[in-house]
Amino acid sequence: MATTRADADAGDDLYSVLALQRVELTAADSVESDLDFAFRLQLQEAISASLAHVPSSPSTSSAPPPLPHDAASPTFASLQSEELMKLDRELADSRQAKLETQKAREDLQRAIHDHNFAKELAEISDDEWEESGDNIEKPLCARDSGDYFFKVYSKGLVIEELVNGERVSLSAIGVGICDQMDNLIFELKKPLIKSGLNKSAAETKALIEGLNAALSMELDRVRVFIDCFPLFQFVTGRWPAKQRKISVLVDQVSLLEKRFSYFKPRHVARNDMKYVYELARAAINSQMTVPAEISRGKTINETCVICLEDTDVGHMFSIDGCLHRYCFLCMKKHIEEKLRQGMEPTCPHEGCKSKLEVESCRIFLTLKLFEIWNQRMKEALIPVTEKVYCPYPKCSALMSKSEIERDASSSSFVGRRLGARKCTKCHRRFCIDCKVPWHNNMTCIYYKRLNPNPPTEDVKLKSLASSNLWRQCVKCNHLIELAEGCFHMTCRYFIHHSELIILVGMFRNNF
C-alpha cells in the first residue's frame, strides 16, 4: 500500500511539473511569435527601402511582394508542446492501467476469500447449517490467502524458420497464470527481440515474465511449473549455471523468488505445458506473418466504429463469419450488457446475427465474465421445461430431468417410485415433485399437508415481485418487468423476441 501511495504522489508531482511546463511554453510561444512578427516587419521595411532606390518601370509594382509564411517549419515551442501532450497521454494510460490492475487484484482477493469461505461452509454439518446457516458470515479481509496458491506456467521457444527465403532464428515466450482450479486468470505471449538466445535463456526469460506478472497482481503464493529440466535444476539450486548470460538470468529468478511467501517449483511433462507452448508458438508465427508496415517500425491504427477511437490493430477483434471488427473494450462492454440482459451475445453490427464464440472472445474477457458466459451456455443447452435445481441451499446445481431420470432408473432405492431423485453434484436425495429435500417415510401428499406454507425464500421473492409489479411467464417461470412498449409479452425462450426486460433468473418453482 505504501508503494501505491508513493507512486500516486509521484504521478501527481509529474502532473504538476507538466502543468508548469505548459504555462512556460505558452509564454515562450507568445514571445517567439512577437519576435517573428518584428523580424518580418523589419525585413518588409528593408525591402521597401531597397526598392525605393531602383528606377520604376511600368511593369514594376510600387508595393513590395508579401513575404511567404513558412507554415511547414514548426517552432520549438510547438514541438515541445506536442511532446508534452504525448507524455500527458502516456501518464493517463499508465494511470488507467494501474486502476485496471488494482481492480484485478481486488477480484483475485475476493475469489480467494470466497474459496476459503466455501471450504469452511462445506465442513459445516447439515444440523448446524439448519440452526445457524443464515447468520454465518465472513468479512473480506485485506489478506485472506491462507493456503491458497496460484499456478505459474511459462514456456520459451527458439525456432529456426524460413522467412522471405532466409533462415532466421525466432524466439518468443508464453506465460499463463491459473488458480488452484486451473481457471486462467492471466496470459501473455510476446516475441523476444534479442537474437542469439538459446533455449535455456528463452525459458528463463519466460519464467521471469511470469513471476513479474504474478507479483504485479500481488500473488504471493505460487507454484511454478517447468518442463525444461536444466532450468528446473538451475532454479532449485542443484546445478550451477556455467554460462554468464544464464547465470545472470537465474540470479534474477532467485531475487524474485524471495518476494514470494510461498514458492514451489515443479518439473512436469511437456504435455502439461501445451497451452503456454501454443501461446509462444503464436508469438513466433506473428513474427513470420508481420505486415511490411510493422516490420519497418510503423504502427497501424484502425478506427473502432463504436467508440470512434483509433486503436492498434492488435487490439481489434474480428468476428468469425461476418468479419466485422471492433476494439476489445467495446466488445467486452457489449458482451457484458447482453449477458446482464439474459441474451445470447451476437455481433454488435445492426442487423447482423453472427454468433460470438466464447473461446475466440476469451482474449479480452475477464475471468468472471468468462465463467458467467459458460454458465449461460450450459443453461441454454437445457430446455426450459427440463430444468431442475437442487433444493439444498449449499448446492443449487442445475440439472435436466432426463439426466436425473437416467440416474434414477439405474438406482435400486425404493423411494424412487415415490419421486426420490439424487443430485448429480452433491449426491443428496430430493423430491422431484415437491422440489424439496427428500421427505423420508412420507408421501408427497402427507408432506404437503404438514407443510402447507411455501419456503421462506419463495415468500420473500413473491413479495418482492408483487411490490415491484413483476410478472411471471407461464411457460418458463421467469420474472419480468415492463420497461417500455405495450402490455403484450412474448417469451424469448420460446420465440427469440421480447418486448420486456428479464430482471431475475430462473426461479426453481412456480408461485
Half-sphere exposure (Cβ direction) of 4: Cα atoms closer than 13 Å: 10
Terminal CA-CA length for the chain: 50
Ranked by mean pLDDT, which of 49-63, 253-267, 298-312 comes out on top? 253-267
| pLDDT value of residue 445 | 84
| pLDDT value of residue 508 | 39
Q: How do strand 150-163 and strand 166-178 relate by DSSP bridges?
A: antiparallel
Q: What whole-number percentage of the chain has pLDDT above 90?
A: 14
For residue 181, the 8-state DSSP code is T
Of 393, 443, 453, nearest to 423 by C-alpha is 393
For residue 147, the 8-state DSSP code is T
Torsion of CA 127, 128, 134, 136, to 10 degrees: -160
How many CB atoms sit inside 10 A of residue 231's CB? Answer: 29
Enter the C-alpha cell of residue 28.
515562450
Task: Name the pTM for this structure.
Answer: 0.42
| pLDDT value of residue 499 | 37
Look up residue 501 and give its amino acid.
Answer: I
Considering the chain, what is the average pLDDT of its residues?
76
Is the separation of the CB atoms in 145 and 220 below 8 Å? yes
Residue 192's H or E segment, with its range, is: none
Question: Grid cell 427428500 — which residue?
Answer: 438
Residue 506's pLDDT band (boundaries 50, 70, 90)? very low
Residue 81 in this model has a pLDDT that exceeds 80: no
29-43, 92-106, 249-263, 306-320: least confidently modelled range: 29-43
Task: Answer yes or no: 304 catalytic.
Answer: no
Q: Which residue has the higher pLDDT, 87 or 170?
A: 170
Q: Which residues of 8-44 are buried (b: 16+ CB within 10 A; e: fewer)?
A: eeeeeeeeeeeeebeeebeebbeeeeeeeeeeeeeee
Q: How confident is the model over 5-34, as pLDDT tens digits?
A: 555 555 566 667 666 766 666 666 666 666
Residue 92's pLDDT band (boundaries 50, 70, 90)? confident
Residue 415's pLDDT band (boundaries 50, 70, 90)? low
Residue 320's pLDDT band (boundaries 50, 70, 90)? confident
CA distance 54 to 46: 13
Name the active-site residue from 141, 361, 486, 491. Answer: 486
Average pLDDT over residues 382-386: 78
Q: Which residue has the higher pLDDT, 401 or 79?
A: 401
Q: How confident is the model over 441-488, as pLDDT tens digits?
A: 788 888 888 887 777 777 788 888 888 888 877 766 777 777 666 767
Q: How confident is the model over 285-302, as pLDDT tens digits?
A: 877 654 444 444 455 677
